[in-house]
Amino acid sequence: MKKIAIAGAGAWGLALAGAVQRAGAQPLVWSRRAEAAALTTSGVTVTGDDARVAGHDVLLLAVPAQEIEAVSSRLARQIAPTLPLVICAKGVARRGHLLLTDVLETTLPGRPLAVLSGPTFAEEVARGLPTAVTIASRDPAVADKLAKAIGSATFRPYISTDPVGVQLGGAVKNVIAIACGIVTGRRLGENARAALMTRGLAEMVRLGRALGADPETFLGLAGLGDLSLTATSLTSRNFRFGTLLGEGLAADEARAAIAGVVEGAATAEAVVELAAAHNIEMPISAAVAAIVERGAGIAETMTELLSRPFKPETA
């Protein structure tokens, strides 16, 4: 795997291209944005030509979660039946509340699939700062080949056979990060934020069990690791978005104030619908969805959360 195509010329796609270069492989970044196409940045070629994706050894999908279906459908003719596809986005599809692997099984059936996730601020990856990620595939041989292709001293992949758990960790942690941002914006204290992170992790585990994930996955890089990064730093768009909500901005105003996609805002309702389909209760995620999607008042929503019955911690 020496020729690696990357779909998405945003900060994350370009950061991955840099990581691929440092691993000794040759990246090509594809973008459907006219302003990004046909550029070269830091020695990485960016193209808008679909045909140039053909002939690569692997395709990393680094577009936002809600664009995975459209991008994979557009590139379908260029992708060989045996080409491994790696989902590098974090979210649940709003249409049909599907995991992103389920989306690809529809648009590009039969290809080897993997998921790359973990605590990864794009700026730090781009600078070559030490980063560890999880690469998950049901086929451990696929994950192993990918890890060897893109891994380096400063970009260290760990292998998992639990793509469901890795995807859910990446999706739900963004929603919980918004909740933690709201708490920070309203100056409710570090105790409250720690409680939300911990109970948010419990929501991940409950949903993961229902979908067949390994609960231990959520204690790893794609779960606790990513949550601890995203829910505590203003570098995180999700945490920053939540902070602006907590300070009094409406959801549309907070989105406008942030450059880039806020994946947790785009995913919250889909996560809650996915949980409801499996009779799983996710009160923190539901509260975020209500605030972001339906304009629910923060004070009233918090009162509802804090008025829930006391129960055993592991229930």
Q: Which residues pair with 86 in a beta bridge?
A: 60, 114
* Domain made up of 3-161: CATH architecture: 3-Layer(aba) Sandwich (3.40)
- Taking only the tens place, the pLDDT of each residue in 199-251 is 999 999 999 999 999 999 999 999 999 999 999 999 999 999 999 999 999 99
What is the pLDDT at residue 38?
Answer: 55
Q: Supply the pTM of this predicted model.
A: 0.94
Q: Average of pLDDT values for 36-49?
A: 76
Q: Average of pLDDT values for 49-59?
A: 93
- Taking only the tens place, the pLDDT of each residue in 63-82 is 999 999 999 999 999 999 99
Q: Average of pLDDT values for 129-151?
A: 97
The sign of the CA dihedral 243, 92, 168, 297 is positive
What is the pLDDT at residue 35?
Answer: 61
Quick count: other Cβ atoms within 10 Å of Cβ 25?
Answer: 18
User: Residue 45 — pLDDT band, cuts 50, 70, 90?
Assistant: confident
What is the pLDDT at residue 36?
Answer: 63
- The C-alpha atoms of residue 71 and residue 8 are separated, in whole angstroms, by 9
pLDDT of 62 strictly over 80: yes
CATH 1.10.1040.10 boundaries in the chain: 164-306
- The C-alpha atoms of residue 2 and residue 57 are separated, in whole angstroms, by 7
Q: Could you tell me if 74 and 101 are in contact, meaning their C-beta atoms sit under 8 angstroms apart?
A: no
What is the pLDDT at residue 275?
Answer: 96
Per DSSP (E only), the strands in 164-309 are none
End-to-end Cα separation, the chain, in angstroms: 45
| Dihedral, 129, 132, 134, 135 alpha carbons, nearest 10 | 50
What is the pLDDT at residue 34?
Answer: 61
Q: Which residues pair with 58 in a beta bridge?
A: 4
User: Residue 5 — pLDDT band, cuts 50, 70, 90?
Assistant: very high
Q: Average of pLDDT values for 143-149?
A: 96
**What's the chain's average pLDDT?**
94
CATH number of 164-306: 1.10.1040.10
Q: Average of pLDDT values for 117-144?
A: 97
User: Residue 39 — pLDDT band, cuts 50, 70, 90?
Assistant: low
- Taking only the tens place, the pLDDT of each residue in 180-191 is 999 999 999 999
Amino acid letter at 280?
I
Q: Average of pLDDT values for 191-204?
A: 96
CATH 3.40.50.720 boundaries in the chain: 3-161
Per DSSP (E only), the strands in the chain are 3-7, 26-30, 39-41, 44-47, 58-61, 85-87, 113-117, 131-136, 155-160
Task: Verify whether residue 173 is a known catalytic residue.
Answer: yes
